[in-house]
Structure 1
């Protein structure tokens, strides 16, 4: 991955935005290309009543990364939308930030599959998310 590719991907993501939910949850993109996307999210504000990171928060991070990555792959005039998502939570973060690393499993013309590994500050895997997106023509403007 080149610095130019990373910069272009970050510029694309910044122009498009991650959406209101991702903004509310404090998701920040660090790296963004078709081959690899990385974002962080604070644990604080995204917990269950008992102080553990909410499983749904892991999924929001994963879906945000996977869907955005699929849309970058889809290209102009095309739109990727979620078809299926699943998650396995193996550890609960209680403080700090979590980091999601999204990599493609399959990048097709009409279907993408991405795996997102979410780890805590100590690098321990907390959740593994897999998202499948279907790519279709974007609706006409107007």
Structure 2
């Protein structure tokens, strides 16, 4: 399971201290960990489970370039096919790929992603033309760790 999360601008990465009203930095990794822990506890309670929700330890990686960002979007969509869950990633029912191409309401930043690629047709074309997987090899290799 992969998520691409955009962190708010630096001005929103501080919280007010209750003691002396100074601004303190927010630890994004800790906040994300709290969210995942709460999610795991809720699912465990709902389904009477007691185990870890994820097989591997959760990892985060900063997106440091526009090229990496572009290929990362493809990789997230391609991942179920890479792991042999489906023959064609476009048919994976749980993918954000469908929401990006749909006109249905979504909480995804559809307009932002489509604008990044230059529109819906260009997003589809990018996904069809990316047959040289060498550009995402570092993503795939890291995923298999």
| TM-score under structure 2 length normalisation | 0.25
Structure of higher RCO (CA pairs closer than 8 Å, 6+ residues apart): 1
| TM-score under structure 1 length normalisation | 0.26
Q: Which has the higher helix share?
A: 2
